[in-house]
Structure 1
């Protein structure tokens, strides 16, 4: 999976798109120094990401934004 595009959105959110789900806009929010998936727009019943894809998306965005250390040290890990 690759991060295609990301941009800042309203209220401290980040919008991102990924190559495996190009029709889905993923919204991220920051907590504890890293970004996590807050919501998704454009999902179809045939293409719903699983937990593995969620983790990959969070990893790629945090790596891109320089927050990978905080993401890897999160409590839920």
Structure 2
């Protein structure tokens, strides 16, 4: 999975698109020193991400933004 595009959105959110789910817009919010998935738009019943996909998306975005250390040190892993 690769991070295709990301941009800032309203209210401190970040919108991102990943190559495995190009039709889904993933919204991230910041908590502490890292970003986590807040919501997703454009999901279809045939293409629902798994928990592993969620973690990979969070990992890739935090790596891109330079917040990977804080993401790895979060309480829940």
TM-score band by shorter chain is over 0.9
**Deviation for aligned residue 1:76:** 0.3
Describe the SS at the equivalent of 1:29. Answer: strand
| TM-score, normalised via structure 1 length | 1.00
**Deviation for aligned residue 1:31:** 0.2
Structure 1 gaps, min length 5 = none
CA distance in 2, matches of 1:65, 1:23: 22
CA distance in 1, matches of 2:14, 2:4: 13
**Deviation for aligned residue 1:50:** 0.4
User: Hey, which bits of structure 1, 4+ residues long, moved more than 3 A?
Assistant: none
CA distance in 2, matches of 1:18, 1:75: 26
Q: CA RMSD in A?
A: 0.2
Counterpart for residue 66 of structure 2: 66
Task: String of CA shifts for 1:3-53, please: whole Å, max 9, x gaps.
Answer: 000000000000000000000000000001000000000000000000000
Aligned residues: 77
For residues 1-77 of structure 1, what are the structure 2 equivalents within 5 Å? 1-77=1-77
